[in-house]
Structure 1
Amino acid sequence: MSQPVVIFLNTRRTHLEHGAAIEAAYRQGYGVALIADSVPAGLPERIVSVVHKVDTYDAAAVDAAVDAIAAEHEIAGVVTWSDRDVETVSRIAQRLGLPAPSLPAAKAARNKYLMRQALVDHPEAIPRFARVTEWTELTKAVAEIGYPAVLKPTSASGSKGIFVLHGEDDLRAAFDELIRYTRPEVDKVFTDNANELIVEEFLVGTEHSVEGFVSGGEIHIAGVTDKETSEPFRLEVAHTFPSSLPESTLDAVRKLTATVVRALGLDECTFHLECMVSPVGTAKLVEIAARVGGDFITSHLVGLATGVPFAENVIRVATGTAPVLGDSRLYSGVRKIMAVEAGVFEGVDGLADALGVPGVRHAIIERAVGAKVQLPPADYMSCTIGAVLAVGDSAEAVRATLATAVHAVTARISG
């Protein structure tokens, strides 16, 4: 047979992200066999030697593609880069005898209600919560949980559909919007749990994520990321790595991570855990995903700060090898270029000025000229125009660099 391959089930949305993953596989000695709904242009053909364009929500079509790959290549591992394919990866790995989480663990990592159910014996680790599919369930649940509260889908990612409820006047509009939105006709990610929501207590504090791996039952934490979000829909707009939290608080975050990973039974995978840290330093789970973090955190920020590309460890773990971690001797960060109005994207001004700011490493525009731009709650993704990535010798320096660079960029949007 030819060079062993790792199956990629879909890719990240930008060339900066999926390019880092493809190159990492090649550096580890593997080719890439891509199974995807859409195939990005310009893939390196000597690395991505096999491409199957199929509907990856169609299990039979995915299985046929896997069988075709297996007939021609040794398959060393299978990975995905987004939530939607986590369960499919586990199903493929189970068929082929490859490393991946068990199917029950993958399912729990895809559903915020099942995730919290797995942790009911650890009430200190999770907010009070209730599953909601009907209006009467919501009114009963918030009467018990109290205000403020958060209402969101049990699946999806990328801060899609998060509503903060401050009182009874917020309930109906939030519920109706989420019932409209959480349907497979709107987004296929809701195929298996349409109109399933979760309401939970509102957690006060700062938001963070934990980037890491589980290999052979051992948890490896690459680091903790500090997060900034926008109001009122809690869109993630900036990240800094590593965290500036004090060591005692980082220890609480690491203990939470161990509790969650073990309660869900995750193993042989990458994980991205999101949590809230209270003003007194306690940490509670927001969610955990059995895949890489997005927003360039794991494609770039971890590697820029530590010198060890995170994606190389993703490939190591997916092929049955323990990760090799680096030390965070630098700081890195990303800040998004966000639309402030809806309309049609016409381009940006000031990109050269942004790239000229000392410390900036990358700038990327994600929207195509002519694309429709909407603001939440009409849409949760198209308002992100692009992003700037930077490196520095302190978190403060990185944040200042990013603020200067993003301020230099103006998105042109016509009404």
Structure 2
Amino acid sequence: MAHVVFVDSTAPTLTALETAKEMGHFVTFIRPADASALKLSSLSRERIESAEKSVDQAVVVDRLEADLLGALRRIHAERRIDALLTTSELAVIPTVRAAEELGIRATSTLSMETAVTKDLCRDSLREAGIRSARHFRAEIREQAVEAARSLGLPLVIKPSRSAGKEGVAIIREERELSDYFDELPSSRRAMSQTVATLVSTRLLMEEYIEGVLHSAEIIANDGDIEVFMIARREQATNNPLYEVAAVLPAGLTDVEQREVKEYMQEIFSRLGLTVGVYHVEFIMSGDGPVLVEVNGRIMGGMAPFVYRHITGLDPFRLLVQEHLGEKPHVPRPPFGSAGISIALGSVSGGILPDGVEEQVEKVKQKYQPLASSLNLRSGQRIPKQLGNFTVFGFCCLPAETTEQARARGLELISDLENVLGFDIAKYAL
């Protein structure tokens, strides 16, 4: 029986704690009071308490950055830690830093910091001659204007470290860059305090790459990577910065999949990412895959439910095995089915009509979702979507093929629009 310690969690990935227990391990869950990803969801206190009761030991630390290492030293002294991991973007750096201090198997802090800090990552790839978007960094308006004239328009501007697309914008005209800086102070004040702990004030500016957004789910495997799934990321027609859905598998050709694997191997070797499960976003451009960002944690949202439907394998089992240094068997394409995880966001916001509960249940009965979080009620106010943290629900649908999954997702969105009475962000087929 190994001792597996999780530091923080998102709402959907609380299931990982239960998976580790089912695998027969002693499980400790550490929840930071100040900067937990659980605060970014509408998860009930009862669900969190249920997850904490399912493990062998639950520990709350006041401050993630300041108190984590001390708590882990005490836990490690009482029962040696065999695997230290997180499914929360907020906890990635503190977790690998603590693992390095305690001598627990993990990617080095330097490698992880370089990978997840976008401008440092771009610098490293450029120095190694690995394909990457042209970029500049900026902290003030004047630097940004100069960078924009060098890069040309359109371009993308974003914090060098962020979450949930906070602070990200596509700039198509120079006046939009000025507007971005005018609005920056108020947008940062409006940001959740939890997210603000992660978002950098240093900005990355990079050329806009045309193509389809994808993600690769990767096991580091001591540097010899395993790409265990590639997903297509559907972007909203009303704002391409918002991701409406993840479609698994992506439907790439064998040649394209090999190209992605070779490109990701170059990136992981260059950055020194040797331990963990990573969610890496990239654009499939006319010249091949181009990195968007490296996330030092497993796929988020409800995509793990879709992966399990397609392969019959719990991805959280892969996560635990990887951190224990085991070599898990990974199902390979072609897969016999497909699925889609949809993030539902309102284009304008609205108030739900009377009787919405019964109508939503009818929609669920029609589509038979693999999983959903459509806990809606009459009179509920739904906010306008402003990013990944303002969606009002998720829904995962099974399908036979990638294209069928994409079509079913749009059909579900259309049916829900009729029930809810407002436009929902959608993607183009």
Deviations 1:147-166 (A, max 9, x none): 00011111112222221111
Asked whether the equivalents of residues 124 and 284 of structure 1 are also in contact (C-alpha less than 8 Å), the reply is no
Displacement after TM superposition at 1:180 (Å) = 4.1
Displacement after TM superposition at 1:186 (Å) = 4.8
More strand by share: 1
Unpaired segments of 5 or more residues in structure 1? none
Displacement after TM superposition at 1:200 (Å) = 0.5
Asked whether the equivalents of residues 183 and 195 of structure 1 are also in contact (C-alpha less than 8 Å), the reply is no
Partner of 1:22: 17
Amino acid aligned to 1:386: G
The partner residue of 2:156 within 145, 150, 154 is: 150
Displacement after TM superposition at 1:101 (Å) = 0.9
Amino acid aligned to 1:354: V
Cα separation, 2, equivalents of 1:271 and 1:295: 14
Deviations 1:9-30 (A, max 9, x none): 111124xx322x1222123221
Structure 1 range deviating more: 152-161 or 307-316: 152-161
2:409 pairs with 1:386:
no
Q: What's the secondary structure of 2:220's corresponding residue?
A: strand
Partner of 1:326: 331
Equivalent residue runs for 1:204-219 within 5 Å: 204-219=210-225
Equivalent residue runs for 1:177-192 within 5 Å: 177-182=183-188, 186-191=192-197
Amino acid aligned to 2:270: A
Distance 1:272 1:339, change over 3 A: same
2:348 pairs with 1:353:
no
More helix by share: 2
Aligned residues: 403
Cα separation, 1, equivalents of 2:69 and 2:190: 22
Partner of 1:5: 3
Distance 1:44 1:286, change over 3 A: closer
Partner of 1:102: 108
Distance 1:370 1:197, change over 3 A: farther
Structure 1 range deviating more: 137-146 or 151-160: 151-160
Cα separation, 1, equivalents of 2:399 and 2:297: 27
2:122 pairs with 1:113:
no
Partner of 1:135: 141
Distance 1:168 1:366, change over 3 A: farther
TM-score, with normalisation over the residues of structure 1?
Answer: 0.88
Unpaired segments of 5 or more residues in structure 2? 39-44, 423-429
2:260 pairs with 1:253:
yes
TM-score, with normalisation over the residues of structure 2?
Answer: 0.85
Distance 1:321 1:182, change over 3 A: farther
CA RMSD of aligned residues (A): 2.7
Displacement after TM superposition at 1:242 (Å) = 0.9
Q: What's the secondary structure of 1:36's corresponding residue?
A: strand
Asked whether the equivalents of residues 184 and 194 of structure 1 are also in contact (C-alpha less than 8 Å), the reply is no
Equivalent residue runs for 1:13-412 within 5 Å: 13-14=11-12, 17-19=13-15, 21-37=16-32, 40-42=45-47, 43-44=50-51, 47-59=54-66, 61-123=67-129, 125-182=131-188, 186-191=192-197, 194-230=200-236, 231-232=238-239, 234-278=241-285, 280=286, 282-297=288-303, 299-327=304-332, 328-342=335-349, 348-349=356-357, 350-358=359-367, 360-365=369-374, 373-375=382-384, 379-409=386-416, 410-411=419-420
Q: What's the secondary structure of 2:366's corresponding residue?
A: coil
Distance 1:395 1:25, change over 3 A: same
Deviations 1:248-298 (A, max 9, x none): 2222222221111111110111111111112x351111011121121222x
Displacement after TM superposition at 1:36 (Å) = 1.3
- Identity over aligned pairs, percent: 22
Runs of 4+ off more than 6 Å: 344-347, 366-372
Displacement after TM superposition at 1:96 (Å) = 2.4
Cα separation, 1, equivalents of 2:272 and 2:189: 29
